[in-house]
Structure 1
Amino acid sequence: MTYKKRKLEDLNVLDDFMFSAAASDEEVGKEFCRTVLSVLLQKELGDIQITAQKTIVPCTPEMRGIRMDVEVKESLEDKNALPSLNVYDVEPHLRKEKYFPKHNRFYQAKIDSRYIRSGERDFRNLPNLFVLTITEYDPFGKDQIIYTVSNSCREEPGLKYDDGLVFYYFNTQGKKGGTPEIRAMLKYMMESTEQNVVNEDIKKLHRCVERVKVTPEVREEFMRFEDVIAWEKEKSHEEGIEEGRKEGIEEGRKEGIEEGRKEGIEKGRKEGIEEGRKRMLIEISRESGVPDEDILKQLIGKFGLTEKEARRYLLEC
């Protein structure tokens, strides 16, 4: 199997790499995120701070952490009000997720855990959290453009249960609900071409995307990223076939090869991408003149490595 490399020019906003690159760009990142959120949520945002590809490490090695695609923090105007912060977790999902509700429940718990310190008694300080999942398929099969989910009381539907948590699922293929502005935004995110620039908000977004696509640093990172994926796909394909052959001896050769191939490709891709990102961080930082000790701190903070593991990566690169 030969992996056909993609071109940066052909990426849509919903692609994980493109979305993160645009959101993290120093020049246009804030405008990009503000435009996406203000249209999808139909609200104006105040002062915002953006973090892309944020890793939240697990509390113990055997537990699982998470990687947030884009986190946007909005400072609320009333400094005396509690909470004083809105947090938006924006997650484009091109890969189908079978258990979105529990997947997002886990993400929400990990995100919230960072905002309450040990000994804190006033839970009013916990920020409002809005989790936005954007997909190219219908996660619930009801043909809605937007599914808005928040907690409520079954016995008293009118009871206000203000826990500050809302989940939004945006389905780019949906036909029901939404506004013309939201529909146009989702269509552009799915197919980010000049033909789909139909209003001022999307025009702003398109300018951001076009600017990012010609940035030398982004182009270089994307080429490295695609090289890693291509190498891992070919490698994992071979490993998957071998694993499938072994399983096929016990459970039927045809079924085993298919299952082994899928598991091998998925496992190899995840591990390869993670490995590639670490090495890209080191190479790009060194080319930019960043001292090794500062790179070490980035490896520990971004990828949850121990100091020993981080130093090993520095020595190997």
Structure 2
Amino acid sequence: MTKRNIEELSLLDDFLLGSVLSYPVIGPKVCKKMISIILQREIKELHIVPQKSYFGADTDKHGIRLDVYAEETQENDMEMVYDIEADKRGKEELRVSLPKRTRFYHAKIDADSLASGEDYSKLKNVTVIFISPYDPFQRNRMVYTIKNGCVEEPDLDYNDGMKTLFLYTKGT
């Protein structure tokens, strides 16, 4: 990969996104504003960890590196975790594997968020946000919100605290 000047980068570049959102002077403000706009609600104080890594359980197991990991504690003491991923790789095989990739991201974050013996109700709510210049589902939408639910009873309230947002920068 060739080195590029900072002027050639956009927020869809891992380096610039991580650098801006984790920079101590402006990062928390920019990250709060960005998540507030995306989720259309006020965000409380955030603790930001750039490029948080979750290693595999053993040397032959897959790990992940999150671009920007942010935690918010809400008024009811519920902890929210946001993983913001800039994803410019629109290759067909990678695009098709996005649902399983996000499932794996959620699993790795969840596995690390409960102490031994802690009740499942303490599991943090996790929102993974992918921002991409390609359409992940080829429906020309700007926002795709993915949540678990019951197929037989779509109106059943099934809030497992897991949500994934795919933001297509050129969608409508």
1:36 equivalenced with 2:30 (yes/no)? no
Tell me, in whole angstroms, the C-alpha distance in 1 between the residues paired with 2:65 and 2:2. 26
Q: CA RMSD in A?
A: 1.1
Higher helix share: 1
Tell me, in whole angstroms, the C-alpha distance in 1 between the residues paired with 2:84 and 2:128. 6
TM alignment of 1:1-317, pairs within 5 A: 5-79=3-77, 84-96=78-90, 97-98=94-95, 99-120=97-118, 122-175=119-172
Question: Identity over aligned residues, as a percent?
Answer: 38
How far did 1:88 drift?
0.5
How far did 1:75 drift?
0.8
The residue matched to 1:111 in structure 2 has which SS?
helix
Question: 5-14 or 43-52, which moves further after superposition?
Answer: 5-14
Q: How many residues align?
A: 168
How far did 1:31 drift?
0.8
Return the TM-score normalized by structure 2. Answer: 0.94
Higher strand share: 2
Flag the structure with larger Rg.
Answer: 1
Return the TM-score normalized by structure 1. Answer: 0.52
Unaligned runs of 5+ in 2: none
How far did 1:15 drift?
1.0
Letter in 2 for 1:54: K
How far did 1:106 drift?
0.5
Tell me, in whole angstroms, the C-alpha distance in 2 between the residues paired with 1:102 and 1:47. 30
Q: Name the counterpart of 1:275.
A: none
